Amino acid sequence: MSKSKRRKYADEFKAEAVKLVTDEGYSVAEAARNLGVHVNLLRNWKQKLSAESEVQELTEDQRMELARLKAENKRLRMERDILPLDLSIPQLHISVLLCL
């Protein structure tokens, strides 16, 4: 039994395919049929390109703030997972531990 190889598409082809839907008014199904690709593949390309364009629209300050918030979120999750959930420890002690 031979495995079928996945077909690879150039980024330019993907972008043009998405433009058919976003700019030219084709439905995803119609554009996919005309291009000979599966409709779910075109939907995935559309989602990925729209997500990338949203990230590119951020200013440098917004990117820095996003990075800072992600790092803080990661740190807080680690603290939450590491701190003991012993109910015998008074709340005051837990707040002191968080300040460390």
Whether 56 contacts 48, CB under 8 Å: no
pLDDT tens across the length of the chain (100 residues): 566 778 899 999 999 999 999 998 999 999 999 999 999 999 999 999 888 776 677 788 988 999 999 999 999 988 888 776 655 555 555 555 555 5
Nearest CA to 46 out of 76, 8, 19, 83 is that of 19
- Residue ranges per structural domain of the chain: 11-99
Output the pTM of the full model: 0.51
Please choose, from the candidates 45, 39, 35, the residue with its C-alpha nearest in 3D space to the C-alpha of residue 14: 45
Contact criterion met (CB below 8 Å) for 15 and 49 = yes
Give me the CATH topology for the region 11-99: Arc Repressor Mutant, subunit A (1.10.10)
- How far apart, in Å, are the Cα atoms of 24 and each of 19, 20, 30, 31, 67? 7, 5, 11, 10, 36
